[in-house]
């Protein structure tokens, strides 16, 4: 009797949880559907009645206009180059630094590690003026290196990779040493492949962070052709009166969101693992 | 390929702690040597120094008369099987075995031939394309041994390789290792704290204790004529019985007298002994169970351990000391019985304060 009650109780709990999940999913997906809906409506119709999104007629005119006139593709390209370059650079540097901190004995290692970690506590705003000045002197503004370089100082990445390398048993290094492998070969062929879950976690977070970054690109990229997606989109939205209308802006937004959606589709397993923290064990 | 290994006056420190203290040892070609000792005695450190995974602070290590202690691990011509197996988890068994050979530029066809031969010897051709995560503990162990075999090393080093296996698999693998040694005729050094592994596998056992070697000898030498009290207590299950004794050295052979007046005539020459106070030692199988009043001492049975072929009897003497004796497998003795204990004086041992041992003259 009590067992039946327990099962019924569990079933009720499951149903409640399911209802909550569905509700939250609707809350999350509604703005996306709203954007897509708006992008498929004629601008004049939307001006007259924003609720027209709920009924026909729908049109692809905004998408055709976006392809023909918008700079969104240039901004997407810039964002891909910046986010991709930053992600690749961060993975390379963090892996090498993490290996060094985890496996090499050199004077001042522990102090240096603490200094690197201290970087986590320094807000970007605190170094902004100095960085701006330096980049001006180096003529790095409005260049890809200007957008990529600041993000390469990634204390979190170094910390994550250091901890991950530390968790790999040293016997593997020793077995490889007995197998006559050089230090570089041990790093490349034995240890690095084992850090793939951590690389995926770090790569995803770095890519998403760079893709969504607005603050530094707003300062460094002042030419329209060097805008990243976030800065470019903001520039059109803040100038709404002179834009092609809300349907056009939403079509831009759909184009802007597509690459990151594709990234998500390919890496969703890793993203879920990364967010749940299960990859870092 | 096989190797003489010479360890000369080797020392090792970790910070202020000395883990090996001026240790010397000669290992003959094709010999199966076991380093036996308790945790922390330095046996694994010594093995790792031979492998090149720990630096030698002072002293020399030579293989076939060539010093190797300055060479990196991969250049010493030795292979090691780790306690954790240390297989590369992302590589297949085949790639695990090929990795070391590829690193020294062995041609692909030779690598393939060696892998196939090792897989045949270890009966694991069907495992070659699996990854370590898809293997059982025993199979991983085989792969680790296979990875060592394909290198055709001068010597094999084993760092407690059986300790992660269950009891049945451990026994089976022990036998397979002995067969492998006979087949390969290679020098093998095996580290363990398990005296059964040491006794069953070794040509010679090196018993280590407290940073140094206590005794080197064949398993039966170690068992029958332990050099120190530590060796006597560490090797053999149950441990040797120890009883404090004073000696009567008036006769040709010494007589040991215990605190409650019991005396045992030993076969140890009085002329060898200089003090009066020693520890008397005797193994359980040399203590026969007889009727009360018929032996050297009487005791009351505390515990019985029936092992099948014999029964171990833990008896308490009048002064409270416990002595383990041995009786037939179908012994009728019961807990609480009063029994007699007959010590075989010919098999008894004496140990002085420093632990040094004296035994009966060899027959």
Q: How far is B88 from chain A (nearest CA, A)?
A: 7
- Out of B74, B88, B90, whose CB is closest to A178? B74
pLDDT exceeds 70 at position A234:
yes
Alpha carbon of A70 to those of A80, A83, A218, A235: distances in Å? Answer: 17, 21, 19, 12
Q: Tens digits of per-residue pLDDT, B312-322?
A: 999 998 888 89
Interface contact flag, A174 B53, Cβ < 8 Å: yes
Q: What is the mean pLDDT of residues B182-186?
A: 90
The percentage of chain B sitting over the pLDDT mark of 70, rounded to a whole number, equals 99
On whether the CB atoms of residues B152 and B111 are closer than 8 A, the answer is no
Tell whether A194 lies on the interface with B, counting CB pairs under 8 A. Answer: yes
Q: What is the mean pLDDT of residues B284-290?
A: 94
Which helix (DSSP H) or strand (DSSP E) does residue A192 occupy? none
pLDDT at A47: 78
Q: What is the mean pLDDT of residues A4-13?
A: 71
Q: Which two tokens stand for residue B266?
A: 């030993």
pLDDT exceeds 50 at position A279:
no
Q: Where residue A246 falls among pLDDT bands split at 50, 70, 90?
A: confident
Q: Where residue B13 falls among pLDDT bands split at 50, 70, 90?
A: very high
Interface contact flag, A176 B88, Cβ < 8 Å: yes
Q: Where residue B157 falls among pLDDT bands split at 50, 70, 90?
A: very high
Partners of residue B87 in chain A, C-beta under 8 Å: 175
Interface contact flag, B79 A190, Cβ < 8 Å: no
pLDDT exceeds 80 at position A281:
no
Tell whether A234 lies on the interface with B, counting CB pairs under 8 A. Answer: no
Q: Where residue A278 falls among pLDDT bands split at 50, 70, 90?
A: very low
pLDDT at A164: 93
- Out of A181, A189, A194, whose CB is closest to B74? A181
B246 pairs with which residues across the strands? Answer: B257, B277
Which of 166-185 (A) contact B at CB < 8 A?
169, 171-172, 174-181, 185
Partners of residue A190 in chain B, C-beta under 8 Å: 88
pLDDT at B9: 95
Interface contact flag, B74 A175, Cβ < 8 Å: no
Interface contact flag, A175 B80, Cβ < 8 Å: yes
B251 vs B68 pLDDT, higher one: B68
Q: How far is B141 from chain A (nearest CA, A)?
A: 14
Q: What is the mean pLDDT of chain B?
A: 92
Chains A and B form CB pairs within 8 A to the count of: 56
Q: How far apart are CA B174 and CA B197, in angstroms?
A: 7
Long-range contacts of B214-223 (CB under 8 A, 24+ apart): B216/B25, B223/B199
- Out of A172, A177, A190, whose CB is closest to B72? A177
- Domains identified in chain B and CATH numbers: 5-226 (3.40.50.300), 238-359 (2.40.50.140)
Q: Tens digits of per-residue pLDDT, A30-55?
A: 999 988 988 888 888 877 787 887 88
- Out of A175, A179, A185, whose CB is closest to B82? A175
A186 vs B319 pLDDT, higher one: A186
Q: What is the mean pLDDT of residues B21-44?
A: 94
Q: How far is A176 from chain B (nearest CA, A)?
A: 7
Alpha carbon of B300 to those of A46, A207, B65, B303, B334: distances in Å? Answer: 103, 78, 59, 9, 10
The percentage of chain B sitting over the pLDDT mark of 90, rounded to a whole number, equals 79
Partners of residue A176 in chain B, C-beta under 8 Å: 88, 99
- Out of B84, B90, B100, whose CB is closest to A171? B84
Q: How far is A197 from chain B (nearest CA, A)?
A: 12
pLDDT at A258: 81
On whether the CB atoms of residues B19 and B44 are closer than 8 A, the answer is no
The burial class, CB within 10 Å (0-12 / 13-18 / 19+), for B66 is: exposed
- Out of B82, B90, B103, whose CB is closest to A179? B103
Q: How far apart are CA A174 and CA A169, in angstroms?
A: 9
Interface contact flag, B103 A171, Cβ < 8 Å: no
Q: How far is B67 from chain A (nearest CA, A)?
A: 17
Interface contact flag, A180 B80, Cβ < 8 Å: no
- Out of A172, A185, A189, whose CB is closest to B86? A172
On whether the CB atoms of residues A190 and A178 are closer than 8 A, the answer is no
Interface contact flag, A179 B75, Cβ < 8 Å: no
Interface contact flag, A174 B100, Cβ < 8 Å: no
Interface contact flag, A181 B53, Cβ < 8 Å: no
Delimit the domains of chain A by residue range.
71-228+262-276
Q: What is the mean pLDDT of residues B76-81?
A: 94
Least confident span in A123-127, B199-203, B359-363: B359-363
On whether the CB atoms of residues A148 and A86 are closer than 8 A, the answer is yes
pLDDT at B309: 92
Alpha carbon of B304 to those of A157, B289, B326: distances in Å? Answer: 62, 12, 10
Partners of residue A194 in chain B, C-beta under 8 Å: 89-90
Q: How far is B133 from chain A (nearest CA, A)?
A: 13
Q: How far is A202 from chain B (nearest CA, A)?
A: 20
User: CA of A195: which chain B residue's CA is closest?
Assistant: B90
Chain B residues in contact with chain A using a Cβ-Cβ cutoff of 8 Å: 51-53, 72-75, 78-80, 82, 84, 86-90, 99-100, 103-104, 147, 151
Interface contact flag, A180 B78, Cβ < 8 Å: no
Closest CA to B142 of B163, B119, B166, B158: B119
On whether the CB atoms of residues B292 and B300 are closer than 8 A, the answer is no
Q: How far is A216 from chain B (nearest CA, A)?
A: 39
CATH of A71-228+262-276, one of 3.30.450.40, 3.90.1170.40, 1.10.3720.10, 3.65.10.10: 1.10.3720.10
Least confident span in B110-119, B224-233, B265-274, B296-305: B265-274
Q: What is the pTM of this model?
A: 0.82
Residue indicated by tokens 């380093």: B35
């Amino acid at each position: 009797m009590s067992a039946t009650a327990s099962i019924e109780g569990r079933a009720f709990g499951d149903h409640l949880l399911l209802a909550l999940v569905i509700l939250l999913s609707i809350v999350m997906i509604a703005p996306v559907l709203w954007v897509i809906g708006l992008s498929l409506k004629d601008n004049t119709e939307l001006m007259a009645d924003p609720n027209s999104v709920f009924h026909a007629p729908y049109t692809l005119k905004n998408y055709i206009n976006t392809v023909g006139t918008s700079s969104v593709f240039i901004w997407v390209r810039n964002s891909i180059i910046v986010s991709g370059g930053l992600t690749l650079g961060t993975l390379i540097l963090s892996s090498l630094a993490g290996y060094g901190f985890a496996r090499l004995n050199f004077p001042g290692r522990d102090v240096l590690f603490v200094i690197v970690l201290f970087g986590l506590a320094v807000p970007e705003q605190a170094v902004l003026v100095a960085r701006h000045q330096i980049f001006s002197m180096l003529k790095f503004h409005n260049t890809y290196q200007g957008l990529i370089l600041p993000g390469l100082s990634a204390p979190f990445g170094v910390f994550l990779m250091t901890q991950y390398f530390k968790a790999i048993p040293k016997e593997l290094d020793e077995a490889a040493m007995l197998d006559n492998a050089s230090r570089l070969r041990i790093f490349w062929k034995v240890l690095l492949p084992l850090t793939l879950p951590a690389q995926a976690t770090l790569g995803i977070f770095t890519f998403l962070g760079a893709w969504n970054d607005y603050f530094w690109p707003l300062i460094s990229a002042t030419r329209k052709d060097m805008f990243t997606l976030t800065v470019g989109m903001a520039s059109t939205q803040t100038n709404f009166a002179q834009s092609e209308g809300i349907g056009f802006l939403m079509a831009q937004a759909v184009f802007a969101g597509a690459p990151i959606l594709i990234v998500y589709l390919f890496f969703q397993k890793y993203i879920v693992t990364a967010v749940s923290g299960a990859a870092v064990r | 390929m096989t190797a003489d290994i010479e360890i000369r006056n080797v020392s090792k420190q970790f910070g202020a702690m000395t883990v090996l203290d001026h240790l010397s040892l000669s290992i003959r070609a094709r010999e199966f040597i076991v380093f036996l000792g308790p945790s922390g005695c330095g046996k694994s450190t010594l093995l790792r120094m031979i492998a090149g995974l720990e630096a030698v602070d002072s002293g020399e290590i030579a293989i076939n008369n060539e010093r190797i202690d300055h060479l990196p691990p991969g250049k010493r011509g030795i292979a090691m099987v780790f306690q954790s197996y240390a297989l590369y988890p992302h590589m297949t068994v085949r790639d695990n075995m090929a990795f070391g050979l590829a690193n020294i530029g062995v041609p692909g066809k030779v690598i393939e031939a060696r892998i196939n031969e090792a897989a045949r010897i270890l009966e694991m051709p069907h495992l070659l394309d699996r990854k370590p995560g898809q293997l059982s503990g025993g199979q991983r162990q085989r792969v680790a041994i296979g990875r060592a075999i394909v290198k055709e090393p001068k010597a094999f080093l084993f760092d407690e390789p059986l300790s992660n296996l269950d009891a049945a698999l451990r026994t089976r693998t022990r036998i397979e290792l002995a067969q492998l040694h006979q087949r390969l005729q290679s020098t093998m050094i095996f580290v363990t704290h398990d005296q059964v592994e040491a006794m069953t596998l070794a040509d010679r056992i090196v018993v280590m204790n407290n940073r140094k070697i206590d005794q080197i000898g064949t398993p039966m030498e170690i068992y029958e004529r332990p050099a120190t009290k530590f060796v006597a207590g560490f090797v053999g299950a149950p441990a040797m019985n120890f009883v404090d004794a004073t000696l009567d050295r008036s006769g040709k052979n010494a007589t040991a007298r215990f605190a409650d007046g019991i005396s045992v005539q030993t076969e140890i020459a009085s002329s060898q002994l200089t003090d009066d106070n020693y520890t008397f030692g005797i193994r359980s199988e040399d203590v026969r169970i007889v009727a009360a009043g018929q032996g050297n001492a009487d005791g009351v049975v505390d515990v019985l351990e029936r092992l099948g072929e014999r029964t171990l009897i833990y008896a308490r003497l009048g002064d409270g000391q416990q002595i383990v004796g041995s009786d037939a497998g179908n012994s009728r003795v019961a807990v609480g019985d009063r029994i007699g204990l007959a010590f075989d004086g010919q098999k008894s041992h004496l140990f002085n304060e420093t632990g040094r041992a004296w035994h009966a003259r060899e027959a």
